[in-house]
A and B are shown apart, each in its own frame.
Chain A
Amino acid sequence: MRRFLGFIAAVGLLSAACGGTASPASTGSPGTSAAATSGAAAGKPAGKEIVVASSMALTGGFADVGKEYDKTYRHYFDELNKNGGLLGRPVKLVLNDDESDPKKAASLYEKYITSDKADLLIGPYPTPILAAVIPITEREKMVLVQAGTASASLLQGHNNKYTFLGFTFLDRDYAKPWMDWIKTLPADQQPKTMAIFTLNNPFTIGVQKGLADLAKQANINVAVNEVYDANASDFTALVQKAKTANADAVALLSYYPDSVQIVKTMAEQKLKPKTWYNAISSTVPTWSSDLKDLGDGTVTPVQVWHTQKTAGVQQLYDWSKTEFKTDFIPFHVGSAQTVAEVLTAGVKGCGKIDQDCIAEWLRQNPVPTVSGQLKYDSEGIPQYSAILVQTQKGKDLAIYPPEVADGKAVYPA
């Protein structure tokens, strides 16, 4: 027993130590930032730098997505500086690695606000990290534009005054484009039974609740509705349960690593639903390289697609193709661009760096972005819009709504 207690103590120490030391150092800091550089083009900005601070998951469990945000923000502010900066001043992006750790992110934002006196803030990714950061930025009355969480439980009902969402749909609407598309299928071909696999996390639980309601409205029986904890690594039983229920629609409400794991298990167990949805993962550029043909057929929501007619989409598409070697705008690249556009629109609209003024301006004025013209409500949530994308032979194609579709849905997947 003594040895057992010693082991438990050591595992506890190990967990604590690993939480704090697992990942390499940040990619930038206020003093030694690898931040945006001023360009030499016409309209060169002048004066004191405007410091935009953010933390991002550049290592750890959320790094695949975090790197997309990082690259997009750096690109955006580089371009901004090349085109005259913000309010005629150069912008310096300070973006540090939070190692996918909420505690680390919280301490970084405390530092940005109280010690570094950053002018503007951009939110981290994803929900567990924002759950730690939003209370700090609200308390300090700093505007936080973010596309790291769409969790209604974090964003609504808390009297948030300074938090603005860069996504164009909340968690409960994440599966709405999927369900809307299913309703366009002939009634006798629509799926009848659904299995939902959900990570125990405020965002994914929000998606789950919304999906369960939407499925009911679409007359789909949710036969399996399982929540799993973050330390789960073996999903065989979960997949087996869906197979036993003859699920012909499967939803993976999880982050990237779990989605990859579940898809591999679905293939092993020969679970082949007519349609399968994942909340986040398949527009991550490594999806098809990690999973190859196993990743084909899945559908996922996005908010920006290159077939949209909104300003800046084509430029973002061209840059994405070069930067991410994809033939589409990855989901979080579109979200990140939207965040940066919202923040700069607020500052330009105000004409000064004044947090209350920026927040009020964003609530009162339509904001033009690559995601369309956003109109924020009193809680910093824009109106709903979403596009459904399907992975086909390693490529992502928009399949719904028809006005932006650049491919035909493969059904059954």
Chain B
Amino acid sequence: MTNVFQTLLSGLLSGGVYALPAVGLSLIWGVMKIVNIAHGVLALLGSYLALTLFRALGIDPLLAAVLMLPVFFLIGLIVQHTLVRPVINQPEISSLMILFAFTIVLENVITRVWTGDFRAMTPAYSGMSLDFAGANLSVVRTITFGLAVVAVFGLDALLARTYIGKAIRATAQNQTAAMLAGIDTDRVALIAFGIGTALAGVAGVALGLIYSFHPSVHILWVVKSFLVTVLGGVGNIRGAFAAGLLLGVAESFLGTYVSFRWVDFFIYGLLLLVLLVRPQGLLRGAASA
């Protein structure tokens, strides 16, 4: 029974790790109707910046995560304003390709600055765990889970209780109607992209704390975030969180009780099934709180 509980707990914590980068991706996708393929590489930039702050200045990655929020919000505004906005009314493939090009450029910048080597952040609490009802609770994963909870419920509150949040939701649900109601949808898109990118930066710090990383690892990150976003329903923040947890628990039980080799087969099989049977995702979509 302890093993089942441990497996469940490990899965939930891994789920938080999956949900954190997916929340920002889901928000941008839901509001702007674009798939931000650069989301992973932006998160990766967060990992490298945190690494530099940690190694060069001794700044703890958790403090770095807080610092990333305004920095990446600003980066998001710049990317949206300079790259995405000019093509926003063109076919979807335009934004996809321009973000693809941006991804390649940023990946190469990262490679030039930090080289192609694998990197790992190992603060004092790395590898530590807490006892919880007979199970082990990884400290860094628990922190990441906490960050995911804060991100989800913070964003949830923002969307539900503030004017800009309501404007984001309105824009996500029906852009034309939102415009007719007097909402500056361009500004909303800009802010949504900024928030999504800020969350990517924070997610990157968390992912860098848990996993080894290198300049092309963002492909794996963005694919998994895509999976979580689709499962949770595009634009559905709580859905992304729930899908992340579902994915983490499924992987944990499959890996522990079936075989580690079958995990990806089942998980991506599930993605195929969802896309065929319920393409809108398992939960309700469109930036819902």
Contacts and interface: CB of A to CB of B under 8 A. Distances in A.
Interface of A: 1-4, 6-7, 10-11, 13-15, 17-19, 21-24, 59-61, 63-64, 99-100, 200, 226-229, 231-234, 236-238, 240-241, 243-244, 256-258, 260-261, 263-265, 267-270, 290-292, 294
Given A3-B92, A7-B37, A241-B255, A227 B261 contact: yes
Contacts of A3: 35, 92
B226 A231 contact: no
B266 interface: no
B7 interface: yes
A257 B116 CA distance: 13
B237 interface: no
Contacts of B223: 11
A295 to B, nearest CB: 10
Q: Chain B binding site: helix, strand, loop or mixed by DSSP?
A: helix
Given A7-B37, A240-B255, A270-B136, A229 B261 contact: yes
A106 to B, nearest CB: 19
A268 B118 CA distance: 21
Tell me which of B93, B260, B275 has the highest count of chain A C-beta atoms within 10 A of its own C-beta.
Answer: B260
Given A11-B37, A18-B219, A63-B116, 14 more contacts: A4-B279, A11-B223, A23-B111, A60-B117, A99-B116, A227-B260, A227-B261, A236-B255, A240-B255, A261-B212, A268-B139, A268-B141, A269-B136, A291-B122
A257 B213 CA distance: 9
Contacts of A256: 118
B10 interface: yes
A185 to B, nearest CB: 27
B181 interface: no
B176 interface: no
A183 to B, nearest CB: 29
A226 B92 contact: no
A7 B93 contact: no
Nearest to B142: A268
Interface residues of B, number: 61
Contacts of B93: 6
Interface in B102-122: 103-104, 107-108, 111-112, 115-118, 120, 122
A268 B263 contact: no
A24 to B, nearest CB: 6
Interface string B28-51: 000000010100000000000000
A245 B216 CA distance: 35
B226 to A, nearest CB: 6
Given A7-B226, A22-B215, A240 B10 contact: yes
A7 B224 CA distance: 12
Given A236-B252, A237-B252, A269 B129 contact: yes
Contacts of A2: 92
A241 B230 CA distance: 29
A157 to B, nearest CB: 26
A15 B138 CA distance: 32
Interface string B214-225: 111101101100
Contacts of A60: 116-117, 214
A17 B251 contact: no
A14 B116 contact: no
Tell me which of B126, B226, B255, B259 has the highest count of chain A C-beta atoms within 10 A of its own C-beta.
Answer: B255
Contacts of B270: none
A3 B117 CA distance: 33
Tell me which of B128, B219, B253 has the highest count of chain A C-beta atoms within 10 A of its own C-beta.
Answer: B219
A61 B214 CA distance: 8
A243 B6 CA distance: 10
Nearest to A227: B261
